Structure 1
């Protein structure tokens, strides 16, 4: 009886531990919804996001022809919101992938070469962490312009030092375990060792780091677009919509409220998912 009771208790504890919180399920559903909207933006937008409807300018939400109202030029808020989601997700996803690839490569290089190369990479990481990225972005965009590829590349420099430190630390730990050295003795090249053996073992940690960096890049893009140095017309983004809507906060608050709510919901969902993945990674299966 005692063993049966202990088994039942252990089963309940395991089931409780593996139960996914409702907040995480809601976050995943919201993220999937946002991705679908971004992929199908052209097909589901009721109007062209640049189409003008001057007779209905500053129309309030629940208008017969404009569900979320219109802006100062009569452009449909819902249509602009849908297209803005695609642009903002494109910028954030591209920047996150660039940051992860750059940081992981630098971390592997530091772990492999060591010595002065490692010291130099760690010095660059410290400099990046100490430099206010918003100030750096404002300087670069003001000097070189703000074409979309340049903007995505600049955002890709955000947070690379985190991936570099994580990749370096985990690569050193993996090498200390012996399997990397054993594979190297079998004739594998350093690139094969890092890409085929070390990277798969640390990929879960890097993915969690990406989920935590992704919402930060969305907020950074929003800040720069809000200041007029991000995505430029005729393209639109969530931060771009916020920037235009600030002049009409008292007369037409829905212009600014719609993208603001979407930004908060998206970044919160990704953060909750990242925190849950981080907790699962730290605790491990039980």
Structure 2
């Protein structure tokens, strides 16, 4: 037989994703590049003041090439602040997503392995966490303990951890009853080795999809809390804080608010599209 008849699955595996997913991948790659190269590509310092050019319009609306996206109420360059905000928001979102996934997956695997009273305690914590509105909890914690980047990231990391715990527990119990897990146990492997080296890799695809679905939620939560003044504090900046400051100048200088809002919408949309696509590709029941 020819190579053409032998390898049709390989050709299908390399098929390009749909156009919307491809757009999402390109946009997310652009945002990651901007976040990594922010110190190099920023035209000005995001805290530099230029009071002579306060509320200067962007290019295309009567502005000059000195400030591509205009300036804010203190003459700070909007493009420079947008680049720094992208870096800050993505750092917070990635850190919080990883923390939530680690906490939830660990507790889910622990419940699947120990069962009994330990499982009941984990499920009770899951139900308790799911019953509390996270935004109210975040407002209370930030108002009582003050704010710092580390506390903010850890607090956002508690968002949706119960989702990972439920998924990890259910999939681990199902995987533990399959033949390969029983065979490894009979060979004398410890429970930690069974769960970390054999069961976890088999359920990782579902957990990764859950992370891509939680990532845009955390971006929106960070934006909302920063918009309310309880997120990233000055002189640091984030996408949400830019929207919060720009709302007071919406009629006079809409570019202050529209630029970060545009980035928030496209980034969350892109991650959601990629998450849906990964779910369809990695879920064997949908093939």
TM-score of the superposed pair, with normalisation by structure 2: 0.92
CA separation in 1, counterparts of 2:22 and 2:194?
A: 36
Q: Counterpart in 1 of 2:31?
A: 34
For residue 92 of structure 2, what is the aligned residue in structure 1? 91
- 1:204 is matched with 205
CA deviation vs aligned residue, 1:79-117 (integer Å, no higher than 9, x gap): 000000000000000000000000000000110111121
Aligned-residue offset at 1:191: 1.2
Q: Match of 1:38, SS?
A: helix
Rounded to whole Å, the distance in 1 between the matches of 2:186 and 2:13 is 45
The whole-number CA distance in structure 2 between the counterparts of 1:39 and 1:144 is 31
Show the counterpart of 1:3: none
| Structure 2 counterpart of 1:49 | 46
Cα distance in 2 between the residues matched to 1:21 and 1:167 = 29
SS of match in other structure, 2:138? helix
**Cα shift at 1:124:** 1.1
**Please, what is the CA RMSD of the aligned residues?**
1.9
Deviation at 1:123, TM superposition (A): 1.4
Aligned residue number for residue 101 of structure 2: 100
- Is the CA contact 2:142–2:230 (under 8 Å) kept in the aligned structure 1? yes
Counterpart of 2:244? 243
2:233 aligns with 232
Q: 2:46–2:76: 8 Å Cα contact kept in structure 1?
A: yes
Aligned pair in 2 of structure 1 residues 103, 41: CA closer, same or farther (>3 Å)? same
Aligned to 1:174: 175
- Distance in 2 of aligned mates of 1:87 and 1:120: 36
Looking at structure 2, the residues matched to 96 and 15 of structure 1 have their Cα atoms a distance apart, in angstroms, of 32
Using the TM superposition, give the Cα deviation of residue 248 of structure 1 relative to its aligned residue in structure 2, in angstroms: 0.6
**After the TM superposition, which residues 1-286 of structure 1 pair with which residues of structure 2 at under 5 Å, given as runs?**
15=12, 18-62=15-59, 63-283=64-284
Please give the secondary structure, in 2, of the residue aligned with 1:70: coil
Q: Secondary structure at the match of 2:283?
A: helix
1:41-81 residue CA offsets vs partner (Å, 9 max, x unmatched)? 01000000000010000001112310000000000000000
Contact 2:171–2:203 under 8 Å retained in 1: yes
Give the superposition deviation at 1:137.
Answer: 0.2
Tell me how far 1:20 sits from its aligned partner.
1.6
Distance in 2 of aligned mates of 1:168 and 1:60: 54
Instruction: Measure how far apart 1:15 and its partner are.
Output: 5.0
**Cα distance in 1 for residues equivalent to 2:40 and 2:16:** 37
Q: Are the structure 2 counterparts of residues 147 and 254 from structure 1 closer, same or farther at C-alpha, using a change threshold of 3 Å? A: same
Identify unmatched segments of 5+ residues in structure 1.
Answer: 1-6
CA distance in 2, matches of 1:164, 1:259: 33
Q: Deviations over 1:210-263 (max 9, x none)?
A: 000000000000000000000001110000101111111111111000000000
Number of residue pairs aligned between Structure 1 and Structure 2: 277
Distance 2:278 2:35 in 1: 24
Give the structure-1-normalised TM-score: 0.93
Distance 1:206 1:217 in 2: 16
Tell me how far 1:156 sits from its aligned partner: 0.4
Give the whole-Å Cα distance in 1 for the aligned partners of 2:132 and 2:31.
Answer: 32
2:105 and 2:91 map into 1 onto residues whose CA distance is 21
Structure 1 stretches of at least 4 aligned residues deviating more than 6 Å after TM superposition: none
